[in-house]
Amino acid sequence: MKNINRILFVLLFALLPIIAMAAAETGAEIVYFDDPKGDISITSAGGEAVEADFGVILAEGTKIETGSGILELRLVPNGTILKLSSGTSFELRALQSEGGSKKNIFSLLRGKLRTLAAHGGRGEQYEVQTPSAVCAVRGTDFINEVGEAGSSILVRHGSVYVESVTGRRWVTLEANQGLDTRSSNYRPVTIPFEEIDAIFADFSFLGTDPSAVPGAPPETGGDDGGTVPAGSAAGAIGQPVTVAVARDREYETKSYDERSKFGRWISDSLGADIGTTTIEGNTYSKLVLSPVIDTDRFRMAFYLPIIYIDLFNSGTWYKPRGNNEWSFGTDQSGWQDVISDIWIDLWLKVRYVEYGDAEWDPLYFKLGNLNTMSLGHGALVYQFANDFDFPAIRRIGFNMGYENTVGFEVMVDDLSRPNLMGLRFSVSPFKSYRAFEMGLSGVVDIKPAGEAADPDYYGDPWFLAASLDFDFLEVNTGPFKMVWFADGSALAPIYRSNADAGDFPNVKAGPAWDMVWGDGRPTNFGVRSGLRGLAGPVRYSLEYRYWNGVYVPSMFNSLYGRKKVEYVDTFTNYLNNGQILSDNMGIFGEAYWDILDDGRLSIGAGYHWPWSIGNGAVDFDTADYLKLELVVGRKLIKAYGVHGSLKYERSNVRQTIADPGKYSWFDAYTVFSGEIVFPLNPIINLAVVGGTTTKYDADGNIVWANAPDNTIPEISPVLSIETRINY
């Protein structure tokens, strides 16, 4: 027995070198392949064809053409896994081994390769050679892609050293960075880790377990678990590499990661505009500083303008509504006027302050020049805008909301000169069915006639409105979301004094309840019901409306600031004459569609088609409403990075078409804004910005377009040519 044990020990000892050699055998095992057309071609170093099959070990020097298929490999014995996309030409040029190559060297001539490199503490080294660059890998998870014009690299974890084949340019890519080798500055582009995860998820391993790779990082999230400074690498991976893509990326980030922390803060937080602007027919020069504070949920931007004819003569500086915004009370007398002027001038330096997101966060607030303030479903306040005259006139709006079992919303048009204010309370009374919600809103404009030539002529009224709204049903099935809602609302003025005795003898001081109840029935009210939600990439709303008399659906909208004196005149005439108007109906629909992803192209449109019914006839002369929006992102026209936006809103569209002599497409019934931006280099853009503004005289009084009625303000074009500097 002892002799047998000795013999076995000797045999085992003799076999150890052979076992060790077998254990140290290197190669790349086929662990997964999909070959729909049977055109995967594998050729050994000796030129012999190798059949693609599970478990086949490919040796050093093997060449692979994937054709229409895909292939996944695992290096033996170290555990690194590789994925080759269709259309890839690849070679296992060298495999790291004892007594052999010191590196794992791969050659990628075209196509796409993902590498999840093992790090087991044994000095593993990797190199990926492409026609335009060599990648020395100290990282773990990365993608290489080679197109006709160049190559690109995207790093999810770890780091990759990239050197051009000429040796003249080099860079190190860290986690969440990408590079296009055709980029003129050969600098990395920083990418949000959510975008990184999405790209890698689209090119995930199918036949291997990434977590089994020695030293593999987690499958989701960035190395630091947080969002990195946002640039853009859309196009770096997943599409052919072109000069246009490289230039697009070059404009997105310019050596961002090469800067100090202070340099990054300057880049993120400072901007400036230098140029000219035409306001009310006068051409001014302007210099605007725009510091920004931007954190995860809190955002704040300042607006520090000097708009001037002669920079060294403050008397030639532009004064919005006649106010010298840089005086801070020094041009006032009396402590109340001084404090009021300081308050207004300080707030005018704030572009916006925001916390949270109204669509996603239970608590949010917005402060500044705003264009999307709504209460509930918008029966009273719908996308109210206080920035319709920006930048000629600036206002400090306020909008805040909280949503839970019990919630609220509040809005103010201008904290420096508050007039329009609204408040809504909501409750979801059934814990078992949270989709049902009730809301009660109240809105007041304390001075709708404040900009009239003579407010006392109309009795200087208030507008008081109330609304009751319901959510009945909610559907949420993946890409399709829908809410069924219904609202009812009414409005009545409250007069501070008697209106002009000559023109309005029947309009007396006090609340005008005749506006909401007359002849034994409710009057001047509105009801509506409809659906709103998401259908894939499209946000939509479709509703039926019914209203009576001079009530206006969603009256407090983006056009309200220019039409409110006309509303005062209409309501006062109605009360004085006791007239009975027809019942009205209408269909309102709107949709916003992100046609191309990554913010490249978006459009929006909305239209309210109303008609009046009375005396057995249908009258289509009731004022309709049209809204159009277009956003062209920088990545749509990649070769030049030109981008811009356009927004046009108008009521009385049908009347304008029928009577162009009476109406203009850019009068007081219109809100228009647009810009087109031409990148000149990575930090300087040239922008042409257009819009319209209410015309004011030197004393800050409105210039009226329809004298002597003085209800429709005159509108002036605003055109700016700006040089925008981003550090």
pLDDT at 544 exceeding the cut of 90: yes
* Most confident by average pLDDT, 30-39, 122-131, 155-164, 390-399: 30-39
> Confidence band (pLDDT; 50, 70, 90) for 485?
very high
Residue 230 per-residue DSSP state: P
* Most confident by average pLDDT, 77-86, 430-439, 609-618, 696-705: 77-86
> Confidence band (pLDDT; 50, 70, 90) for 616?
low
pLDDT at 10 exceeding the cut of 50: no
- CA angle centred on 641, ends 221 and 154, rounded to 5°: 30
pLDDT in tens, 574-598: 899 876 667 899 999 999 998 876 6
Could you tell me the pTM of the whole model?
A: 0.60
Residue 46, Cβ density class (10 Å: 0-12 exposed, 13-18 middle, ≥19 buried): exposed
3-state secondary structure 542-605: EEEEEEECCCCCCCECCCHHHHHHHHHHHHHHHHHHCCCCCEEEEEEEEEEEEEECCCCEEEEE
Q: How far is 425 from 451, CA to CA, in rounded Å?
A: 31
Tell me what pLDDT residue 561 has: 86
Cβ atoms < 10 Å from Cβ of 53: 9
Higher pLDDT, 411 or 241: 411
Mean pLDDT across the chain, nearest whole number? 80
Q: List the structure tokens of 78.
A: 């170290």
Return the amino acid letter for 306.
I
Please name the residues in contact with 18: beta carbons below 8 A apart, sequence gap of 6 or more: none
Specify the range with the lowest mean pLDDT, choosing from 184-198, 269-283, 402-416: 269-283
Contact 493, 514 (CB under 8 A): no
Whole-Å CA distances, 337 to 317, 327, 334, 658: 21, 12, 6, 48
Tell me what pLDDT residue 247 has: 34
Specify the range with the lowest mean pLDDT, choosing from 78-92, 126-140, 250-264, 699-713: 250-264
User: Is residue 466 situated within a structural domain?
Assistant: yes
If you average pLDDT over residues 22-47, what whole number do you get?
Answer: 84
Q: How far is 614 from 653, CA to CA, in rounded Å?
A: 22
Tell me what pLDDT residue 280 has: 66
User: Is residue 575 situated within a structural domain?
Assistant: no
Task: Of 493, 491, 523, give the one whose Cα is nearest residue 380.
Answer: 491
Q: How far is 125 from 102, CA to CA, in rounded Å?
A: 7
Tell me what pLDDT residue 26 has: 79
pLDDT in tens, 668-684: 899 888 999 888 866 78
User: Is residue 304 situated within a structural domain?
Assistant: no
Tell me what pLDDT residue 392 has: 65
Domain boundary among 198, 229, 258: 258
Contact 643, 637 (CB under 8 A): yes
Contact 607, 625 (CB under 8 A): yes
Q: Where are the beta strands (DSSP E) in 17-140?
A: 27-34, 41-43, 49-50, 57-58, 63-65, 70-76, 81-84, 89-94, 104-116, 126-129, 133-137
The length of the chain, given as a count of residues:
727
Contact 112, 203 (CB under 8 A): yes
Tell me what pLDDT residue 686 has: 87
Domain boundary among 241, 258, 275: 258
Measure CA of the first residue to CA of the last residue in the chain; give whole Å: 85
pLDDT in tens, 419-442: 999 999 999 888 777 788 999 999
Tell me what pLDDT residue 261 has: 55
Dihedral over Cα of 690, 695, 697, 700: its sign: negative
User: Is residue 667 situated within a structural domain?
Assistant: no
Tell me what pLDDT residue 311 has: 82
pLDDT in tens, 304-335: 888 888 888 878 888 876 778 888 888 888 88
Tell me what pLDDT residue 225 has: 37
Q: How many domains does the chain have?
A: 2
Specify the range with the lowest mean pLDDT, choosing from 273-287, 363-377, 647-661, 692-706: 273-287
pLDDT at 612 exceeding the cut of 60: yes
Strand partners, 522: 517
Tokens 């199918």 label which residue?
Answer: 206
Please name the residues in contact with 629: beta carbons below 8 A apart, sequence gap of 6 or more: 592, 602, 603, 604, 605, 645, 646, 647, 648
pLDDT at 15 exceeding the cut of 70: no
If you average pLDDT over residues 114-140, what whole number do you get?
Answer: 80
User: Is residue 178 situated within a structural domain?
Assistant: yes
If you average pLDDT over residues 561-575, what whole number do you get?
Answer: 91
pLDDT at 463 exceeding the cut of 90: yes
In the chain, how long is the greatest CA-to-CA distance? 133
Task: Of 56, 21, 55, give the one whose Cα is nearest residue 42.
Answer: 56
pLDDT at 621 exceeding the cut of 80: no
Specify the range with the lowest mean pLDDT, choosing from 252-261, 307-316, 654-663: 252-261
If you average pLDDT over residues 205-226, what whole number do you get?
Answer: 68
Dihedral over Cα of 164, 165, 168, 170: its sign: positive
Task: Of 441, 467, 444, 606, give the one whose Cα is nearest residue 527.
Answer: 467
pLDDT at 258 exceeding the cut of 80: no
User: Is residue 513 situated within a structural domain?
Assistant: yes
Tell me what pLDDT residue 83 has: 95
User: Is residue 342 situated within a structural domain?
Assistant: no
Percent share of the chain, pLDDT over 90: 27
Q: How far is 624 from 629, CA to CA, in rounded Å?
A: 17
Higher pLDDT, 242 or 150: 150
Tokens 């949010």 label which residue?
Answer: 364
Whole-Å CA distances, 200 to 83, 98, 156, 398, 663: 11, 33, 8, 41, 55
Residue 724 phi, psi (nearest 5): -100, 130
Q: What is the three-class DSSP state of 411?
A: strand
Q: How far is 367 from 365, CA to CA, in rounded Å?
A: 7
User: Is residue 218 situated within a structural domain?
Assistant: yes
pLDDT at 277 exceeding the cut of 80: no
Domain co-membership, 45 together with 187: yes
> Confidence band (pLDDT; 50, 70, 90) for 138?
low
Residue 128 phi, psi (nearest 5): -115, 120
Residue 497, Cβ density class (10 Å: 0-12 exposed, 13-18 middle, ≥19 buried): middle
pLDDT at 697 exceeding the cut of 70: yes
Domain co-membership, 254 together with 383: no
Q: How far is 290 from 724, CA to CA, in rounded Å?
A: 10
Return the amino acid letter for 566.
E
* CA 157 to the chain's CA centroid: 27
Tokens 């040239």 label which residue?
Answer: 686
If you average pLDDT over residues 504-511, what whole number do you get?
Answer: 92
If you average pLDDT over residues 392-408, what whole number do you get?
Answer: 85
Specify the range with the lowest mean pLDDT, choosing from 11-25, 158-172, 685-699: 11-25
Residue 389 per-residue DSSP state: T
Q: What is the three-class DSSP state of 464?
A: strand
Domain boundary among 233, 258, 283: 258
Strand partners, 319: none
CATH of the domain at 85: 2.60.120.1440
Specify the range with the lowest mean pLDDT, choosing from 191-195, 368-372, 478-482, 636-640: 636-640
Dihedral over Cα of 174, 176, 180, 185: its sign: negative
Q: How far is 112 from 203, CA to CA, in rounded Å?
A: 10
> Confidence band (pLDDT; 50, 70, 90) for 3?
very low
Task: Of 379, 690, 693, 652, give the one whose Cα is nearest residue 562.
Answer: 693
* CA 48 to the chain's CA centroid: 55
Residue 701 per-residue DSSP state: P
Q: How far is 504 from 479, CA to CA, in rounded Å?
A: 56
pLDDT in tens, 45-76: 989 999 988 889 999 999 999 999 999 999 98
Residue 161 belongs to domain spanning: 25-258
Q: How far is 340 from 338, CA to CA, in rounded Å?
A: 5
Q: Which helix (H) or strand (E) holds 529?
A: strand 525-535
If you average pLDDT over residues 135-148, what whole number do you get?
Answer: 77
* Most confident by average pLDDT, 127-136, 415-424, 462-471: 462-471
Task: Of 646, 631, 629, 648, give the one whose Cα is nearest residue 597.
Answer: 631
